[in-house]
Structure 1
């Protein structure tokens, strides 16, 4: 006798066990997440097998936890070869049960975090709530703070009041030689930020941020490497806009090229950020501020084509979504970087870099070449400090050398 769980899932035997009553709602939940029919059927059947296994061991619904899923997979491994995606399917099931309140909160595993991790979490909250820094910036800051606390306190008690200048200097001396210049400079920036935070908390009274050594650097940074206008046109023309993924990638590349947004700004764009009537795009910048940018006609057309004929159905408010289940927003700037890298490879373009930032540099260079002022470029790019925009005014000596007129009379 067959038992219909979902309009696309039929079981050959009646479901049993503590999860039998929840299989239909589980099927409905993962169906709206964009999983294909095969994955939907597989997930529900694994849930049914897991429920039967729980019944055989006398486990009630109130007692289910993640550890039972782990033990079930071990059981499967002893009797037959499990599929590689079984673990993910069970993880989705456990998450669903928790979200629905089937598994009570007290049954969820309690994770004891260390003092260092608690300190890091409090610093994260400070950066997010007080400094209003972008999520991607916070992600880059946290590992350095975690490493600093480990270097100073090890696994022992975290006593921030005991920090002194020697601790700061020693940490930089140990870490800096292991890092690339850009990473080392970021580390010192993070360290100053953290030490200002510790002083803000009242744990220290001295300005230890001033004790952070300066990493050696050149005074004239190299000119940013931007993708050329011709390469951008060739790249955009190479995208296959007949497919849903192609429409998404084309819209992403066009937003990068025309508006010069950072990867994080594109990734975290939401549907409500697009004002179709006013022809504007509201962007949350690196510093957490909102800026309004005009929406060029070609960018608006590309976004509309993707939203109408390429964007999967999803409860997410993000503009750009993953193309495969689990259908959610792109996970971060690295996901957008992958879109750019694959597009460049398909088009056979030898661009200055494989990252998304080259479009930002390319736009600034084109604006400068067409007579835009530094303040105009700064406004478009969302720079908080004029010095950041000044790097685009540096002279490319190599390019000028090729244009130099020969010395009268030739070489001697």
Structure 2
């Protein structure tokens, strides 16, 4: 039943493993469906039930019969006004309150708790709510000798960072990874990002206070100083947004484990960024097509790289989509290629051009390992499938440097943006472009409207009083 309301398997996993009420989540979803609530309302009530169940898990409750009226009032009156479990509290929790009321009705009808005769829905109103206000961000700090070199933040540096941490802090990092996996069901790639940012924060704390520092002594000033350090290093806005998001998650974990008693997430300020302010980084499509001449197509590696470049330049595939392609997803007779769920959590079917079909056949004839189901494999032993998208990013960078092309950025998304820009500038509609790129919303494709220079000239408004200016 949960599949009727949520398409992301990770969300369904989190709802089903949110604590003591997770085992009843399917039945609860069916109960809400029978009440004929709208789809959006049902989603809100399911999230509210998961929120209540996580709070019960935090309180050490493992018996459904204890999710009664008294506990519901404690959740609404004490926890909600100061809650930062998922995001900064903005004081808007009316749907959560109504969702808690529905949970009580469901448990009552299931004969798990008594009927809530002494409690009406309107009484579940928090007393003196005090929503948190995000702190204003510090302005970037300019060093007199220039911006210092930031610490390494790639995945390979994790062992170095772990080696510099006290043993107690290293154990915290491992617990944090289990917390992200078991409670939230995050993928390994996402957990790696969260774990690395947590290690950077712990490394900074260790250098700031010494190895004898206890995390229970963390305060607001430590959080602000750490963010001040990130500003000083001159990180990009996107990277600092990642750091702040991961920092909030790590602080929630510390409070979940009772390592800290106070909620420090409000001290992590929110970064301001104008929506759609930037132009997609791309190069002329004719320049991007030059990359097809770079691979040596007499070798296995050259044939593989030529195929992957074709998939990026003609179908706009993401690197992660390419490494997930299996042989069963290719139909040369129908001329179709099925792309599995990736970033948008939905699959799509794309047409195969003659060039792509010939490149696939040419590569499969010399592919060293015939037993692997994946299409793209390593070209050296062991002939295993590529593990992550960074492998294809290195391929693109190699050929860009080989041809000495002037590009605004390296990586596979440069080719995806170049194809999208080419399609939009040559008459393709946003709907057609969105279908090829796999965008779930047409607004996502709308960023390419800013690169339609010739079309934008046609809709540009005349300068006020331009006739008078011309006369003068």
Class of the TM-score when normalised by the shorter of the 2 chains: 0.5 to 0.7
Alignment of 1:293 with 2:333, yes or no, is no
Alignment match, 1:67: none
**1:191 CA drift (Å):** 1.8
What is the CA–CA distance in structure 1 between the aligned matches of 2:389 and 2:327, rounded to whole Å?
A: 18
What is the CA–CA distance in structure 1 between the aligned matches of 2:374 and 2:213, rounded to whole Å?
A: 41
Q: 2:389 aligns with which of 320, 333, 339?
A: 333
Alignment of 1:145 with 2:198, yes or no, is yes
Q: Structure 1 residues 195, 237: CA separation in 2 closer, same or farther (over 3 Å shift)? A: same
Moved more, 311-320 or 269-278: 269-278
Alignment match, 1:177: 232
1:44-89 superposed Cα distances (whole Å, 9 cap, x missing partner) = xxxxxxxxxxxxxxxxxxxxxxxxxxxxxxxxxxxxxxxxxxxxxx
Task: Tell me the TM-score normalised to structure 1 length.
Answer: 0.57
Q: Structure 1 residues 343, 388: CA separation in 2 closer, same or farther (over 3 Å shift)? A: same
Correspondences of 1:369-408 after superposition (within 5 Å) = 369=425, 370-373=427-430, 377-378=433-434, 380-383=436-439, 388-394=444-450
1:332-356 superposed Cα distances (whole Å, 9 cap, x missing partner) = 3332122112323444544443321
Correspondences of 1:146-295 after superposition (within 5 Å) = 146-152=199-205, 155=211, 159=215, 163-181=218-236, 182-198=238-254, 208-215=264-271, 217=273, 220-271=276-327, 273-274=329-330, 279-286=336-343, 289-295=345-351
Contact 1:134–1:285, Cα closer than 8 Å, also in 2: no
Contact 1:169–1:211, Cα closer than 8 Å, also in 2: yes
Gaps of 5+ in 1: 1-111
Q: What secondary structure is seen at the aligned counterpart in 2 of 1:394?
A: helix
What is the CA–CA distance in structure 1 between the aligned matches of 2:275 and 2:424, rounded to whole Å?
A: 22
**1:134 CA drift (Å):** 5.0
Q: Structure 1 residues 200, 236: CA separation in 2 closer, same or farther (over 3 Å shift)? A: farther
**1:223 CA drift (Å):** 0.5
CA RMSD in angstroms comes to 4.2
**1:148 CA drift (Å):** 1.3
Task: Tell me the TM-score normalised to structure 2 length.
Answer: 0.51
Q: Structure 1 residues 282, 155: CA separation in 2 closer, same or farther (over 3 Å shift)? A: farther
What is the CA–CA distance in structure 2 between the aligned matches of 1:295 and 1:397, rounded to whole Å?
A: 29
Alignment match, 1:93: none
Q: 2:170 aligns with which of 104, 107, 117?
A: 117
**1:290 CA drift (Å):** 4.5
Contact 1:314–1:328, Cα closer than 8 Å, also in 2: no
Gaps of 5+ in 2: 1-164
What is the CA–CA distance in structure 2 between the aligned matches of 1:381 and 1:208, rounded to whole Å?
A: 40
What is the CA–CA distance in structure 2 between the aligned matches of 1:398 and 1:166, rounded to whole Å?
A: 52
Q: What secondary structure is seen at the aligned counterpart in 1 of 2:243?
A: helix
Q: What secondary structure is seen at the aligned counterpart in 2 of 1:280?
A: strand
What is the CA–CA distance in structure 2 between the aligned matches of 1:256 and 1:393, rounded to whole Å?
A: 21
Q: What secondary structure is seen at the aligned counterpart in 1 of 2:226?
A: helix
Contact 1:314–1:327, Cα closer than 8 Å, also in 2: no
Alignment of 1:342 with 2:398, yes or no, is yes
**1:253 CA drift (Å):** 0.4
Alignment match, 2:363: 306
Moved more, 166-175 or 388-397: 388-397
Q: Structure 1 residues 381, 169: CA separation in 2 closer, same or farther (over 3 Å shift)? A: farther
Alignment match, 1:81: none
What is the CA–CA distance in structure 1 between the aligned matches of 2:279 and 2:390, rounded to whole Å?
A: 23
1:238-274 superposed Cα distances (whole Å, 9 cap, x missing partner) = 5443321221011110111233233333345444554
Q: Structure 1 residues 286, 260: CA separation in 2 closer, same or farther (over 3 Å shift)? A: same
Q: What secondary structure is seen at the aligned counterpart in 1 of 2:169?
A: helix
What is the CA–CA distance in structure 2 between the aligned matches of 1:317 and 1:205, rounded to whole Å?
A: 50
Q: Structure 1 residues 389, 274: CA separation in 2 closer, same or farther (over 3 Å shift)? A: same
